[in-house]
Amino acid sequence: GVVLEKVAEYLLFKQKYEDATNKETVPDFQERIPPEIALELLVAADYLQNRDRHIKLKGDMLENNASNIPQLPNPPILPAAPISTGLSKSQILSKWRDEQGRRIFTRENTSDVIKGLNNTPSIDILRDTVNILQGIDGAYFRFEGAANQSEFKLIPTDQRSKRVPKPTLELVIRLAELGWLYKQVAAFVRDCSTSTSLGLITQNRLYDFYRLIALLEAQLAHTPETMDEQNDSMDSLTLGRIAVWTEEWRLKMRMMSTLVQGAADVHGGALVSLIHGYTENGDPFIRGFVSELLEEVSQPFFNTLHTWITSGELYDPFKEFFVTINNDLGMDLNSFGWMIGAPNTTEHKANIDAGQLWAKKYSVRDEMRPRFVGQAFAKKIFSIGKSLNFIRHSCLDEEFFATNQISDIANKVLTYSDIPSLEQSIDIAFSIASQRLLENMFSKYKLMDHLQALKRYLMLGSGDFVDILMESIGPSLARPANTLYRHNLTATLEAAIRGSNAQYDDPEILRRLDARMLEYTHGEIGWDVFTLEYRVDQPLDVILTPEVMSKYRRIFNYLWRLKRVESDLVKGWRRCVMGKRSYLKVPSLDNDWHQARIAMSEMIHFVKELEAYCHLEVIECSWEIIEQFASKREGDLDALISAHREYLERIVNKIMLVGGRSSRRDEELLHKMKQLLSVILSFRRAVEDLYTFTLHMSSSLDHTPLERPDIYRHKRLSTASSIPRAPFEVAGGGSSSSVSNSRTSTPGAASVADDEEEGIAGIRYRVQTSADEFHELASYVVNALQSHPDLDVRFLAVRLGFNQFYRKPTNLKLRVLAYLDSSRMTFIKYEINLNEEELKGKTLVLPTISMANVPQLATELLLNNHSNELVGRFNNEGFIQVAGASTDGLVTPLELHRLKEYNDIYVVDQRSPILKSYKYTFVEELKKWADGLNLSVIILSSADSASRNDNDIVSSQLKQISSKDSRYADKISEFESLDLDTLNGTGLLKSYYGSLQNAAGLCLFTTEGDNRPDAHLLVKALSNVLGFKPIELKDPLHWEGLFGRLYDDKLFG
């Protein structure tokens, strides 16, 4: 009877707990349940752990039929069996469960937990259970350990003589887990109070838990002290009912405990990201509960986000957003200071350029970015707030906010449950904010006008203005720098503006243009320190930052120096042409002027081509980047800054000839360019002295001496004696005597003629030295530019030396394969910086000119399929001279290549046969070179198939020549051996094999025809010997059509 009562009781409170509208079919309990089955059901059913096995029963059915269930007599109370006796079925089942660890809420055995407890009244157990649910120690049970521990233990507080039934203890321990979890969550709420969203929301959840506890205590108040069949009503509280009513809260408390433990060291966006990770759980209950929590926890995040993308202000007092304000530059970067009118904020703000505000005022903390906000999405959010903030505080565009152009977004409520709508709002806000900011920059602040002004004035794009400025300010800049004054330079600049088309520019543009001097040292002149300056203010300095303006000044200084040299050369050429009447009267100087004109024309060509390259191919072509962005206006302010930076970097790198190589090489090339320009100026001064000397000589011949010529001689020519004489004589040496004869015969006439001879010798030396030095530097620059990684710069080298004028003589001889005397050329000339000792012990693949040229085809196929580099060229004196073009330059009859993938393998590429008279000499030189480096040589050869014997015919066409080198002996021996004495068409195979110390060989029998398959076979055999990785061999492109094309089958029907 007791068993059936318990079953009926369980079914009764389960039915009451479930939804009353559930109409599922239930089993009929009107029939009598055998006692043994009911006992098995009570002991074995794990209804307290398995939520899916609920048996639902209508309340009416249970109440109407409960009284009809027959009562069983109470079983007799049997004494406890001793340990030595056998165990009953239920005891065996209970023991098995103990061994399998069915108790999931305690680490100790249940019997150990309640060992020594007396049989307590059920009402006391219920009171203790309700207390334990609240984390309070009861009269009979208490928790052991602190609340922050991961495990708990329930221990007795009172010793009794009788034991409590094990199912009751299991149920108490199960309920105790909820109390333990509650203690952890309550401790978190107590510590953090309401300072975080999770703490506040968790506290609200605990209020619901407190209501459940209050209901349980109310039920406990209506529960009699002792319960039996007569007074066990639906209003009474039992452990089973507590377990069912708290089951859902146990799962919730588990989740909250996990969250609060993980949230110990995180907050804000990191906390949202942490909770978001639990939404990926497969359990619908956990996923729904976590999503509900996250909806509330993320609300502060979305509130901050809403303010950020609608007003550009960052309201984040607890530093929980993934965007943070940067206070490294002081309060100037804190928008709150400006908003509340903090003292001196206006002054501080004026001291910080917009570029710093845009780049450094705000930054992204990736660790605070929630997981559902991707990198690209976060970048858009970051850009929206920065753009709005910049529009408000730097562009001072209050009209944009007054018209409330983003009102649609401002009226939206951003929530976690509506992420698609959030993405749509972000895209709209990004487009509106970015376009408004770009519109401010291009329309309100006329960014394109300022960039064009920088291009015209600082990049010398306005020709008439530059020419007038150069003409007017040149004499002043020739003086020492410490004698120049800024107001004089500014006045000259204003005069150049009034005298050119620059006067028609916007006064706002001209107002920003100024002339100033850089810091100078002792000995510098005005040309060294003069520069133009273009002043900008907010918000244009977000693009034209001080760093950017320094690059503009660097470009101006380089182009200004180039323009100065070009202007001096033009004046010098004018001297040469327009002063012709003067020096025609001095025939002895004709050759000097001829040489000067040749050198000057070379310099003019060089400088003009360099100027055209800078202005047309660099500046104008780069300007297209700015124009394309201005027409499309795609992206935000960062995109505009990036486009302008790309435009400027391209100009600087191409003008300064930076190639992305080592900085040392770039600096050396730029230094050579500066030296070259200085040499041109030195040459120009020497030519000016030559002109003055010629004019003086012409005046002497016309008996119209210049005013006080002795002053000129003392100032200009007195130092000539200290200058070495030129290595050539004066053309028409009789001019000295004619000059002396034309003078008045005085005792000092001879000394005057000597002074003039010394003066012209010094001038000649300076002219010739400057011309030679220029040619040497120009040759270096042009040859360096030919290998530049930039195609535009390489094309500049072509324009500067279009007729190979600056090519090195040694390279010229090598490329045209001119005849070289063998006594002056080594056996091999290395094309790379290679120490010959590195070749020692390596492997050399050596082809022969033999039957059907199969070895040559094989080496071409090998080099075509493996990355290689040209190492050197052999002395080709004894070869039939041929030349060909390739992507790397000209090809010669005999070259040495190295396989990059296999550094130990070197391949000889022979394209021309050896002259008969040179064969033995070549073999001897090859032997000295190869044996001296201890090279392992593998000879590739082919033989006429007609020379095969019977054994060769029935076996493979590929044979081996036994190896003298143990390195490849095993691999070579895999092929059948060959008798060299019976072979025909093998070329120098016998000579190579007999002479070389470490030689082996592969020989292929073949005939004339399409020998591409033979080449493939030979390369595959060679690769096997050398241990190469097997690859699919591809024919070189020039093989197409080498052996003719396939006929059309249609020709033969």
**Residue for token pair 């590929």:** 958
CA-angle at 800, arms to 796 and 805, nearest 5° = 140
Q: In the prediction, which pLDDT does 603 show?
A: 94
Give the integer Cα–Cα distance in Å for 787 and 12: 94
**Whats the size of the chain, residue-wise?**
1053
Question: Could you tell me where the beta strands, DSSP code E, fall in 183-304?
Answer: none
Asked if residue 789 has a cis previous peptide bond (ω within 30° of 0), the answer is no
Asked whether residue 112 carries a pLDDT value surpassing 50, the answer given is no
CB 940 within 8 A of CB 931: no
pLDDT single digits (tens) 1021-1051: 999 989 898 899 999 888 887 777 766 666 6
Nearest to 612 by CA among 557, 559, 679: 559
pLDDT-based confidence at 622, cuts 50/70/90? very high
Q: In the prediction, which pLDDT does 581 show?
A: 64
What residues contact residue 456 under an 8 Å CB cut-off, 6+ apart?
462, 465, 502
Domain 831-1039 belongs to what topology?
Rossmann fold (3.40.50)
Question: Both tokens of residue 192?
Answer: 């953090």
Helical (H) or strand (E) element with 89: helix 89-100
* One-letter identity of residue 661: R
Q: How many CB atoms lie within 10 A of CB 838?
A: 12
In whole angstroms, how far apart are CA 874 and each of 32, 334, 431, 839, 899?
A: 112, 73, 66, 15, 18
In whole angstroms, how far apart are CA 374 and each of 133, 381, 423, 726?
A: 42, 10, 11, 75
* One-letter identity of residue 710: D
Give the integer Cα–Cα distance in Å for 143 and 421: 49
What residues contact residue 844 under an 8 Å CB cut-off, 6+ apart?
906, 907, 908, 930, 935, 936, 937, 938
Q: In the prediction, which pLDDT does 337 show?
A: 40
pLDDT single digits (tens) 955-1009: 888 888 877 776 788 888 888 888 777 788 888 888 888 888 888 899 999 999 8
Give the integer Cα–Cα distance in Å for 270 and 297: 11
Give the integer Cα–Cα distance in Å for 676 and 599: 13
* CA atoms in the 13 A half-sphere facing the CB of 919: 12
Question: Both tokens of residue 168?
Answer: 């009751």
Task: Dihedral sign for Cα 960, 963, 968, 974, please.
Answer: positive
**Residue for token pair 């690769």:** 1023
Three-state DSSP class for residue 906: strand
In whole angstroms, how far apart are CA 534 and each of 17, 509, 546, 650?
A: 83, 9, 11, 21
Identify which of 122-136, 700-714, 805-819 has the greatest average pLDDT.
Answer: 122-136
Mean per-residue pLDDT for 373-385?
Answer: 90
Nearest to 765 by CA among 594, 577, 592: 592
Q: How many CB atoms lie within 10 A of CB 182?
A: 24
Q: Burial of 521 by CB count in 10 Å (0-12 exposed, 13-18 middle, 19+ buried)?
A: exposed
Q: In the prediction, which pLDDT does 1015 show?
A: 93
Q: In the prediction, which pLDDT does 159 show?
A: 53
* Domain chopping of the chain, boundaries: 2-66, 111-227+234-256, 297-326+361-444, 463-537, 545-739+749-807, 831-1039
Phi, psi at 281, each rounded to 5°: -75, 145
Give the integer Cα–Cα distance in Å for 275 and 261: 12
Question: Both tokens of residue 628?
Answer: 């394309």
Q: Burial of 44 by CB count in 10 Å (0-12 exposed, 13-18 middle, 19+ buried)?
A: exposed
Give the integer Cα–Cα distance in Å for 1037 and 1030: 21
Asked whether residue 857 carries a pLDDT value surpassing 90, the answer given is yes
Give the integer Cα–Cα distance in Å for 126 and 130: 6
What residues contact residue 1002 under an 8 Å CB cut-off, 6+ apart?
938, 939, 940, 941, 958, 959, 960, 961, 972, 975, 1018, 1021, 1022, 1025
Least confident of 603-607, 674-678, 954-958: 954-958
* Average pLDDT, rounded, for the chain: 75
pLDDT-based confidence at 856, cuts 50/70/90? very high
Nearest to 171 by CA among 54, 4, 47: 47
DSSP letter assigned to residue 83: T
Q: In the prediction, which pLDDT does 649 show?
A: 93
What residues contact residue 640 under an 8 Å CB cut-off, 6+ apart?
438, 441, 543, 629
Give the integer Cα–Cα distance in Å for 202 and 186: 9
Question: Both tokens of residue 550?
Answer: 């320094």
Q: In the prediction, which pLDDT does 550 show?
A: 93
Asked whether residue 307 carries a pLDDT value surpassing 50, the answer given is yes
CB 731 within 8 A of CB 590: yes
* Cα Dmax for the chain: 168
Question: Both tokens of residue 589?
Answer: 């100087």
Cα of first residue to Cα of last residue in the chain, in angstroms, is 106
DSSP letter assigned to residue 843: E
pLDDT-based confidence at 100, cuts 50/70/90? very low
Asked whether residue 865 carries a pLDDT value surpassing 70, the answer given is yes
Model-level pTM greater than 0.75? no
Decide the pairing of beta strands 905-910 and 843-847: parallel
Nearest to 393 by CA among 363, 435, 361: 361
Three-state DSSP class for residue 76: coil
Mean per-residue pLDDT for 204-223?
Answer: 82
What residues contact residue 725 under an 8 Å CB cut-off, 6+ apart?
761, 762, 765
Q: Burial of 685 by CB count in 10 Å (0-12 exposed, 13-18 middle, 19+ buried)?
A: middle
Three-state DSSP class for residue 890: strand
Give the integer Cα–Cα distance in Å for 699 and 710: 13
**Residue for token pair 């909806």:** 295
